Structures are given as structure tokens and as C-alpha cells.
Amino acid sequence: MNRSPRPRFCRMRPPAGRVRRGFVLPVVLLVLVLIALLAASFSFEMNADLAVTRGALHRFQTRQAADAGIQRVMLLLRERRLETDAWYNNPDELRRVLVWRGDLEPTDLGQPDATEVENDRRPAFLFSIVADDPANDEIEVRYGLTNEAARLNINTASRDQLRTLIAQVFPEAPVEEMADALMDWRDEDDAPGEHGAESAYYATLDPPYRPKNAPFDTVEELLMVRGFTAQILYGEDYDRNGLLSPNENDGELSFPLDDGDGELNRGLYPYVTVYSRDFNTANDNKPRFYIGKGIDGVREDLAEFFSDEELDFIAAALAADYSEEANSNGAGGGASTSQPTRGGSRNQMTEMYSLVDLLKPVPQGGGQWLPSPFTLEDFHRILDRLSLWIQPEQVGLVDVNTAPAEVLRCVPFLTAQMVDDIVAQRAALDSTAKRTPAWLLIHNVVDEGTMAEVIPFVTARGFQFEVESVGFATHVGTVSRIQAVLQMRGPVAQIVYYRDLTPLGIGYPLRLEDERKGGQPGVASAR
């Protein structure tokens, strides 16, 4: 029997189109996922770049606001430099000044209502001119400028003046060594003082360098002088704002190192300068009249400011033989108390010693005296218009109107009691009453003898000013903090030093809520 052949079964392959469709689908899904990831990455990158751009824009705008503050100060000094009250502490004109807000015209800008700006969420850029007051506590902010003449000039200060200042700020410091090292750094020779340091010392450092043997260009240059560390220069005031921040009052818990005693040691920085110089001009910028050799050549010009009687007396005072005064008053014994006397070495002077002498009778020979036509109030006019020094400028004079007590104690011939009286008395006087150092004598802070000795060391005005301008925005947390030193040339202000202090931190309270918390920089922040 024949069997039918068994059917043979073959495995059939799926159609080619079906294989392709099954493989492409996951590939397409993977590509879509990658495209989505790339799009998201691109979006994130674009948003990041946009945020960086916006941040840079806000930083630029706050920098411009801070620069606007400096320009505002330049205008203020041009118009009211001699009005101490206008620039020393003037929150009405230098606090939270509006520079830009989109809904306002330029003519509407200026100092806005603080509460209105605080509650307004629209973009706005403002500036404040801030400063430390070393004579004040560590909480309040001063809205104003710092006269460089209120500081001790380290390029002209004597060794005794340097010792006096260093000993006040750091009583435990090696005062003698530091004073001598500073003097050696700025002098022209390479011979060290008794306790100083010259090339032989600096050559041993790593890396070695040479002393400058020339005047300081900046205060920060002190950091290169032996014994002057950052702690000596800046003290505990790491952010250099004169305010006691929490990290500056916690001992060794955080930087900087401090003693945690609740008081801020500001270091030497607020008390020293390299910029202070006073020009031999009157307060109206006209040259003073040099009368050291008489007034014959300038009498006609002086007639604009002094009467004929006053000019005759000035001429007599310049020509008087004061050795006769000493003899008539018994300098060698048997002094008469009925006539004014000149103490110390001035008894042997044969020419006028000081402009203070114009307030006293002048010896005329034969025991005769010519009374002075000047009153105490005229002493302002005398100091403003006349001069016994011919140099066009004097470096390092100290401003008795704004210098802290620590600096005033460095002025020769001023006693501790006189310094206390100066600080107390000047607070009660307006700018007009303090227009020259004459107010020290007029208000009985010093006597005539001390006034004569002190005049070569003091002034009552400034030509160089430190400005610290903080530009900020109310709608973001961007802040720019700029420090500049302005030099007055007549009515024109020139920038001679410019530095960005923003890396040191905000430093100052900017918003109302920060000021209500006592102005502590630890809580200061822009919105």
C-alpha cells in the first residue's frame, strides 16, 4: 500500500515591511526623547545665560547708580564745599537718592519718599553716600563724606605723631619699632632708625623686596612695612564699614579674628591718609597775601579786605622790634604784667611770630604801644586772607572741624583737655562759625599762645574727600559699592583714587526695614 508522502512544513518569514515598521518605532521614540532632552538642555542654558545677562545688566545699572552718587558729590562739593553741615552728615540729600525708575521723568528723580519706594515693586535704582564715623558707636551710619584732612598724613607725620596714634589704637603693639619702620620706608636713605628696618631686613623675606624710600602712594602700602599687618591696618573691621557685624564680635568662631568684647577695633585705616594737602588760598579760592616781608608790595590789593587803619597796624606789627618788647617786659627779670608778653623762645624774636600777634598791641619804642584795631571775630578774616608762609601748599594739616579725637591728640601743643573741648564745642557751631581755625581762639578752646603754636598744623576745611557710594536696586538683590577720593582744584573735583569694594559685601543697611533693625550690616540686604 502506497503511503502518501508526509507534507513538509516550512517556517515562513514575516514580510519585510513588517520587520521595518517594528524596528523604526523605538528608534523614533528614542530620537524624540533625545530631541526633547536637547531642547530642555538648550532651554536651561538659554535661561541661565539670560539670568547671567540680567545679573550683569543689574550689576551694571547699580554700578552706574553708584557712579551717579559720586557725580552728585562732585556737584555738592563744587557748590558747598565750605559748608561742613552739607557734606559731613546729610541724610536729607545723600540717603536713598533715586537715580532711575521707569515711570518717572528725569526731572522727577532725586530723593523719593522712602516708604513709597520700599512698597513699590517696580524696578528702581538708588544710591546712598555712606561713611564711618570713628567718633560714633558701631551701629549708626553716617550719610556723608570723609575729609582726608581729618586723618593723619603718614607721609608728613613726625615720629612722635605716629607713636601717639599707634599707641591709641593698639596699646600693646611695638610702637617704637612700627614708627621707625614707617619712617625708614618713606625716607630717602637706606640707614635704619634705632628700631627701624631697611633693605637688610626686607632682603630676608620670602619673596624679598626693597623698601620704597619714597612717600607712600596709598594707605594700603603700609602692608609692606615691617610690623604693619592686615590686622593692624584694618583691625576687626573686615568689611571696612565701621559697623560691628556679627562675625566681627564672635571671638574665634568665624573670620576675622576678634576679641568679642562688643566694641569694634577699626585698626589704623580710618585715621591715616596720604592725600591731605591744603592750598595757600582764601576760602573764595583767591591767593592769600604773603606778608612775611611786609605789605608794601600788596597794600593796594589788601585794601579790598582791610581798612587803612588795619593796614597801618599790620605794617607796624611786621616792622616792630619785639626784642624791645621782651626788654620792656623784663625778660631778664622784673617782668611787668601790664603789657602782653610772648612766652618762651618768642621773647627773642625780632619779627612777627604768628598772625595771632595782630590781635595784640605792638611795641613802638620808648615803652609805647600801638593798640590793635582787630577784634577776636576779625581773626577769621586775618587767617583767611593773610599768610606768613610762601609755599603754594601745605601737606598734612589736620581739620579741627571733623578730625576724630584720636587724630587731634596727634596735633602738637594740643592737650587732652583741649581735644575734648574741641570735639564738644564744634558740635554746637555751624559752618560759618567754623570757617577757619580762628574759632578755637574765639570760643576759648585754646589761649593765644597755644593758638600761635597750633596754626601751622591745623586747618578748618578740606580739598580731598573720600566718597563711598552704594548703588542698589529695590527689586533685586544687586549692589555695587564704590570708593573714590576726590581732589578739589578750585571748584572742580577730580577723581584721584577709585576702587570697587563690592567684594567686601554690602556693609550698610539699604532698606528701611534694615535701618529699623538698628542698621546692623548682618541683616542688610536688597530685595
78 domain-assigned:
no
Q: What is the pLDDT of residue 255?
A: 81
483 HSE (CA, 13 A, CB side): 17
409 domain-assigned:
no
Rg (CA), the chain: 35
| Domain limits for position 203 | 155-276
Q: What is the mean pLDDT of residues 198-202?
A: 94
Residue 202 sits in a domain whose CATH number is 1.10.40
pLDDT above 90 covers a percentage of the chain that reads 58
Which residues on neighbouring strands pair with residue 470, listed in sequence order? 128, 481
Q: Phi then psi for 471, rounded to 5 degrees?
A: -100, 135
The region that residue 2 occupies, defined by phi over 0 for left and psi between -120 and 50 for alpha, beta otherwise, is: beta
pLDDT tier for residue 118 given thresholds of 50, 70 and 90: low
Q: In angstroms, rounded to a whole number, what is the distance separating the alpha carbons of residues 382 and 367?
A: 27
| No. of helices (H) and no. of strands (E), the chain | 17, 16
* Of 250, 276, 302, the domain-final residue: 276
pLDDT tier for residue 178 given thresholds of 50, 70 and 90: very high
Which of 153-167, 257-271, 415-429 is predicted with the least confidence, judged by mean pLDDT? 257-271
458 HSE (CA, 13 A, CB side): 31
187 domain-assigned:
yes
| Model confidence pLDDT, tens digit, residues 224-262 | 999 999 999 999 988 888 888 888 887 888 888 888 888
Give Cα separations from 443 to 13, 421, 434, 485 (angstroms): 118, 10, 10, 32
Place of cell 524696578: 123
Based on the domain organization, do 178 and 246 belong to the same domain? yes
Based on the domain organization, do 262 and 344 belong to the same domain? no
pLDDT at 350 over 70: no
Based on the domain organization, do 272 and 159 belong to the same domain? yes
Angle at 274 between CA 269 and CA 275, to 5 degrees: 115
Based on the domain organization, do 318 and 363 belong to the same domain? yes
User: Other CB atoms closer than 10 Å to residue 41's CB: what's the count?
Assistant: 10
Q: What is the mean pLDDT of residues 301-308?
A: 95
Based on the domain organization, do 223 and 179 belong to the same domain? yes
Based on the domain organization, do 373 and 325 belong to the same domain? yes
Which residues on neighbouring strands pair with residue 475, listed in sequence order? none
Based on the domain organization, do 364 and 272 belong to the same domain? no
* The C-alpha cell that represents 188 in the structure block: 630717602
pLDDT tier for residue 329 given thresholds of 50, 70 and 90: very low
pLDDT at 413 over 50: yes
Q: What is the pLDDT of residue 332?
A: 35
Based on the domain organization, do 265 and 177 belong to the same domain? yes
Highest mean pLDDT among 34-48, 190-204, 248-262, 331-345: 190-204
Q: What is the mean pLDDT of residues 93-107?
A: 78
524 vs 267, higher pLDDT = 267
Q: What is the DSSP string of 92-141?
A: HHHSSEEEEETTS-GGG-BS--HHHHHH--S-EEEEEEEB--TTS-SSPP
Q: In angstroms, rounded to a whole number, what is the distance separating the alpha carbons of residues 272 and 216?
A: 11
Closest to 153 in 3D by CA, of 136, 145, 165, 170: 165
pLDDT at 492 over 80: yes
Q: Say whether the peptide bond before residue 207 is cis (omega within 30 degrees of 0).
A: yes
* Of 328, 349, 380, the domain-final residue: 380
11 vs 333, higher pLDDT = 11
How far, rounded to the nearest angstrom, does the alpha carbon of residue 144 sit from its chain's CA centroid? 10
Q: What is the pLDDT of residue 7?
A: 58
Give Cα separations from 428 to 89, 360, 422, 425, 521 (angstroms): 15, 28, 10, 6, 30
Highest mean pLDDT among 60-64, 122-126, 134-138, 475-479: 60-64
Count of domains observed in the chain: 2
pLDDT tier for residue 121 given thresholds of 50, 70 and 90: low
Which of 14-18, 82-86, 130-134 is predicted with the least confidence, judged by mean pLDDT? 14-18
pLDDT at 17 over 60: no
Q: In angstroms, rounded to a whole number, what is the distance separating the alpha carbons of residues 247 and 523?
A: 12
Coil vs helix vs strand at 265: coil
Q: What is the pLDDT of residue 182?
A: 97
Based on the domain organization, do 363 and 265 belong to the same domain? no
Q: In angstroms, rounded to a whole number, what is the distance separating the alpha carbons of residues 360 and 371?
A: 7
Based on the domain organization, do 269 and 368 belong to the same domain? no
Q: What is the mean pLDDT of residues 174-202?
A: 94
Highest mean pLDDT among 32-46, 106-120, 426-440: 426-440
Q: What is the pLDDT of residue 347?
A: 33
Which residues on neighbouring strands pair with residue 487, listed in sequence order? 464, 494
Q: What is the pLDDT of residue 527?
A: 26
Based on the domain organization, do 268 and 351 belong to the same domain? no
* Of 247, 276, 305, the domain-final residue: 276
CA pseudo-torsion sign 384, 386, 387, 388 = negative
Based on the domain organization, do 201 and 271 belong to the same domain? yes
pLDDT tier for residue 440 given thresholds of 50, 70 and 90: very high
Report the chain's mean pLDDT, rounded to a whole number: 84
* The C-alpha cell that represents 96 in the structure block: 536713598
pLDDT at 523 over 50: no
Q: What is the pLDDT of residue 275?
A: 96
Q: What is the DSSP string of 61-100?
A: HHHHHHHHHHHHHHHHHHHHTT-HHHHSS-HHHHSSEEEE
| Model confidence pLDDT, tens digit, residues 452-480 | 999 999 999 999 999 999 999 888 888 99
pLDDT at 53 over 80: yes
Q: In angstroms, rounded to a whole number, what is the distance separating the alpha carbons of residues 129 and 144?
A: 6
